[in-house]
């Protein structure tokens, strides 16, 4: 069981970025999204597929369709340039899965 993300996504400021994460586990287990800046620890920006932690702006959202979850960042800004990882669990719930990560570049 694994989670698949595109290695890179590029968008211009003000546009909308979408990052997908696909895997069979996603139809049964919740997904989570993390942002990581270089040299820093990751931090959660979406949990339970669609929920935002406090402090995360409304222009960041998550959605689920079948076995694919999507992270959408609207009105992309320079500060959104970072690595993004999806996370879930395998079907037994005993193992944690991470996607390979997507580097978001703001042109």
Under the binding rule (CB under 8 A), the answer on residue 98 touching other proteins is yes
Q: Which residue's CB is nearer to other proteins, number 41 or number 107?
A: 41
Site string for other proteins, 57-86 (x = CB under 8 A): --------------------------x-x-
Q: Is 48 in the site for other proteins (CB under 8 A)?
A: yes
Q: How far is the CB of 22 from other proteins (least distance, A)?
A: 16
Task: Give me the phi and psi of 85, to 5 degrees please.
Answer: -125, 135
Mapped onto helix, strand or coil, the DSSP state of residue 100 is: coil
Residues that bind other proteins (CB under 8 A): 32, 34, 36, 40-44, 47-48, 51, 53, 83, 85, 87, 94-101
């Amino acid at each position: 069981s694994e989670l698949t993300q595109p290695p890179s996504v590029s968008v211009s400021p003000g546009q909308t970025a979408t990052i997908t994460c696909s895997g069979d586990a996603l139809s049964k287990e919740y997904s989570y999204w993390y942002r990581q800046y270089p040299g820093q620890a990751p931090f959660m920006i979406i949990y339970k597929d669609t929920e935002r932690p406090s402090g995360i702006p409304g222009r960041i959202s998550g959605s689920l369709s079948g076995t694919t979850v999507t992270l959408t960042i609207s009105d992309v800004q320079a500060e959104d340039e970072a690595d993004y990882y999806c996370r879930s669990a395998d079907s037994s719930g005993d193992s944690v899965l991470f996607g390979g990560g997507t580097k978001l570049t703001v042109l």
